[in-house]
Chains A and B, each alone.
Chain A
Amino acid sequence: GQNIDQPTEMTATEGAIVQINCTYQTSGFNGLFWYQQHAGEAPTFLSYNVLDGLEEKGRFSSFLSRSKGYSYLLLKELQMKDSASYLCAVRDNTGGFKTIFGAGTRLFVKA
């Protein structure tokens, strides 16, 4: 089956760097996504990895290791507006196409 694990909550300080980890198990891996979701809002796309390595996009970077079933999202120069839930999602093409989301990591950024 499919399984995605990420920490439930994290707290970090404004201006700092935080790394949110995600481990996954899936049989038909076809890419990994990170989404940001503010309370009461829809998820918004942050990054996509399908090959091993680091993808950088402004203050956000995402890393993937397919052999380890592991990814992380790195947020630099944290701002108060970064307080949100961060969702790791895996694309699986076993028996059809599906996107499996983790439960999300709630990040609190404090002054």
Chain B
Amino acid sequence: ETGVTQSPTHLIKTRGQQVTLRCSSQSGHNTVSWYQQALGQGPQFIFQYYREEENGRGNFPPRFSGLQFPNYSSELNVNALELDDSALYLCASSLSRGGAYEQYFGPGTRLTVT
């Protein structure tokens, strides 16, 4: 196990609703990244936080937003859920700002939008 935890494990929401997913980083890690992984695909980068500030973002609309807290835990918020948002959401923590070291992934949250 990596020491990265995510909650909840599974979640079912209705189109148009809002959802918050949570991630606790591995001890000592100051950088967290969020990914969306559809079945049979590689993880798609959503954004990265370093010391409570977003310092990298992928091609996701503004309804995907995040927070990182002083203890380096993190949240991913998704507003106005769409059916295509159904996926596995992974967070990964690492030690350096550039993330040029390995990322440790949590087990993921499986989100289903109906």
Contacts and interface: CB of A to CB of B under 8 A. Distances in A.
SS class of chain A's interface: helix, strand, loop or mixed? strand
The number of chain A residues touching the other chain, given as a range, is: 20 to 34
Interface in B1-35: 2, 33, 35
B41 A104 contact: yes
B101 A48 contact: yes
B45 A101 contact: yes
Chain B contact residues: helix, strand, loop or mixed: loop
A44 interface: yes
Given A96-B57, A97-B55, A97-B56, A102 B42 contact: yes
B58 A44 contact: no
B90 interface: yes
Interface string B35-68: 1000011111100101000011110000000000
A95 B61 CA distance: 16
A73 interface: no
B72 to A, nearest CB: 16
Contact of A44 (B44, B100, B105): B105
Contacts of A93: 98
Interface residues of B, number: 28
Contact of B43 (A43, A44, A91, A96): A43
Contacts of A100: 45
A25 B58 CA distance: 16
Interface of B: 2, 33, 35, 40-45, 48, 50, 55-58, 90, 97-108
18 contacts: A33-B103, A41-B107, A42-B106, A42-B108, A45-B102, A45-B103, A48-B100, A89-B42, A93-B98, A96-B48, A96-B57, A98-B45, A99-B103, A101-B42, A101-B43, A101-B45, A103-B42, A104-B42
